[in-house]
Structure 1
Amino acid sequence: MQRYKKTVLLLASLILASATFAVSAPATETPNATQIVAASDRARGGGLNGVQWTIDITGQDSGGPIDRRTYVVRASGDDSLAEATYPPREAGSRLLQNGRSMWFGKATLTKPVSISTRQKMVGPASNGDIASTNYAKDYDATMLRIEQVNGEDAYVLNLLAKNKFVTYDRIVYYVSVSRLVPLKAEFYTVSGKIFKTAVFEMNNRLDIDGKAQPFVSKMSIQDTIEKSNYSLLQYSEVRTQQFGADTFNLGSLNRP
């Protein structure tokens, strides 16, 4: 009888210990769709307080190679400023994005000109493609599934535009499960037709508060309707940077 009581007490202790461990053990939770998109935005300059990079854009259409363009991009929060450095005839012209509004300016203009983020720049690349990305604020995100992209597990997310001022109406976005960086994207019209795709490489790094932040090194954009039409965006000289208070001020856009 005594042995039986000891056995019962031992089993009770083991059950109690197991239950205590289950309660105290940290749970690993899958981030929700908005959190995943916000994390992936940082790999493209979105949500970072002060970062600068150089972007070199080349491409081709049905007529052959397209003129190269180069910009120095400065971004902080929801704002970004892209200043052209090449070709020489475009040097000094600027694209300013304040939230969802985009403006074109240069010293020879009397006032900034409002432009669309959807306007094509080089090949299928649009004005909005060279600015910092804030998909988490501009789109409603929902999780579709998890699938592999080039052997890597990826969250597949459906992004629907919150308004008509953003670059794309709908995006199916593939984000690495382990790295939370974008792997590829499919861009759709309002009618539901895919009209271009993008593939990303993440070989740049930033140091953000002592932590390594992956950053885009290459974005390849392919027109799915006109197969000969594509753009290649290459990112270099990526670094954190503090900017003056008037850097993203519309009133300063046309300054010399």
Structure 2
Amino acid sequence: MIWHRYRSLGVRLLALVLLSLALIVSRAEPAWSLLLTSEAILNRAEQALTHPEGVVWTLNVDVDEGERSLSRTLLVTAKGANVLAEMLRPREMQGQLILRSGDRFWAINPGVALPDSLKPSNSYLGPVSYACLMPIDLLANYEVEEVGEDSAYGEACFLFIMRGRKGSGEYDTLRVWISKSRLVAVKINFYTPSGRFLKSAYLKYEHEALVDGEMRPFLSDMDIRSGIFSDASAVLEWSPPQFLNIPADTFELRTLLGQEAYEELQREEAKRQHAEPSTPDRNETDGE
């Protein structure tokens, strides 16, 4: 009788231990995510923002500045870090292009004027910069200064503090929250060289993409809140993506402009570089 009593107690204790272990395991992050290097984590996060073969979306941009609301619709074609965005709406701006080719950004109005070189951190529409329209190239344009742990929107995350590389023309400092379980960037804060907070972006992944033989989350939405103008916000919504094998010359100025206009642009660029004095490095300036 006593033996049966102890046996019953032992079974209950074992069950309690197993239940506790199950709860701990269910709440823990995947072990494989903790074994990845910083570069591997960032690379995985970037794969949820663009595709190496090519992707085409429709992008709706809606900005609320308190006293006024603005909107744009663009057809976005991306291959890796290269992006071509064609304006669809409003009607009077149809056909205008924004190009990211390599580390250069351009505004193109075909047949009207030569392209204008852009600084990607400059405002496109309210708190939305040109760089926000494009996949964020974390590995190429930023160096990792520190990696820690934090939470964002109730999700356990790796927190990367990243410094912009000289000449990238993007933001000076980023704080990037990457989900430990999904390995996607869920929140990004942007800062000036003086450390002033510019804005925060919250990213959602309601689409899917086939990458390396498995279905993974893919970018669908970005909510932006300005840190400078408290009443300015924006919502970016990407349509379900189409994955295509896009030719590399889609993102070449020579292809978009034609040979004659491209050579004229090259001559104008050479004149400008010869005439302009050296400008301060972006890390020595402030503001967007």
Scaled by the length of structure 2, the TM-score of the pair is 0.74
For 1:169, the equivalent position in structure 2 comes to 172
1:59 aligns with 2:63: yes
Structure 2 CA distance for partners of 1:165 and 1:59, relative to 1, 3 Å: same
CA shift for structure 1 position 77: 2.4
SS of residue in 2 equivalent to 1:246: helix
Separation of aligned partners in 2, 1:197 and 1:76:
25
> How do residues 6-85 of structure 1 correspond to structure 2 at under 5 angstroms?
30-45=35-50, 48-66=52-70, 68-85=71-88
SS of residue in 2 equivalent to 1:251: helix
> How do residues 103-252 of structure 1 correspond to structure 2 at under 5 angstroms?
103-252=106-255
SS of residue in 2 equivalent to 1:111: strand
CA shift for structure 1 position 193: 1.3
Separation of aligned partners in 1, 2:76 and 2:100:
11
SS of residue in 1 equivalent to 2:203: strand
Separation of aligned partners in 2, 1:29 and 1:222:
30
Structure 2 CA distance for partners of 1:64 and 1:143, relative to 1, 3 Å: same
Separation of aligned partners in 2, 1:110 and 1:225:
33
Structure 1 runs not aligned, ≥5 long: 1-25
Comparing 36-45 with 103-112, which one deviates more in the overlay? 103-112
Structure 2 CA distance for partners of 1:246 and 1:159, relative to 1, 3 Å: same
Q: Looking at both structures, which has the greater relative contact order when contacts are Cα pairs under 8 Å and sequence separation is at least 6? A: 1
Separation of aligned partners in 1, 2:72 and 2:205:
21
RMSD over aligned Cα atoms: 2.0
Separation of aligned partners in 2, 1:203 and 1:180:
14
Structure 2 CA distance for partners of 1:204 and 1:166, relative to 1, 3 Å: farther
Separation of aligned partners in 2, 1:237 and 1:27:
29
Separation of aligned partners in 1, 2:33 and 2:173:
30
For 2:256, the equivalent position in structure 1 comes to 253
Scaled by the length of structure 1, the TM-score of the pair is 0.83
Q: Does structure 2 conserve the Cα–Cα contact (< 8 Å) formed by 1:106 and 1:254?
A: no
Percentage identity across paired residues of the two chains: 25
Q: Does structure 2 conserve the Cα–Cα contact (< 8 Å) formed by 1:96 and 1:253?
A: no
Q: Does structure 2 conserve the Cα–Cα contact (< 8 Å) formed by 1:112 and 1:253?
A: no
CA shift for structure 1 position 132: 2.1
Separation of aligned partners in 2, 1:56 and 1:43:
19
**Aligned amino acid, residue 68 of structure 2:** G
CA shift for structure 1 position 48: 2.3
Structure 2 runs not aligned, ≥5 long: 1-30, 259-288
Q: Runs of 4 or more off by more than 4 Å in structure 1?
A: 26-29
CA shift for structure 1 position 62: 4.0
Q: Does structure 1 conserve the Cα–Cα contact (< 8 Å) formed by 2:33 and 2:181?
A: no
Structure 2 CA distance for partners of 1:146 and 1:250, relative to 1, 3 Å: same
Separation of aligned partners in 2, 1:247 and 1:31:
34
Separation of aligned partners in 2, 1:196 and 1:172:
11
1:86 aligns with 2:98: no
CA shift for structure 1 position 200: 1.0
SS of residue in 2 equivalent to 1:89: helix
SS of residue in 1 equivalent to 2:111: coil
User: Comparing both structures, which one devotes a greater share of its residues to helix?
Assistant: 2
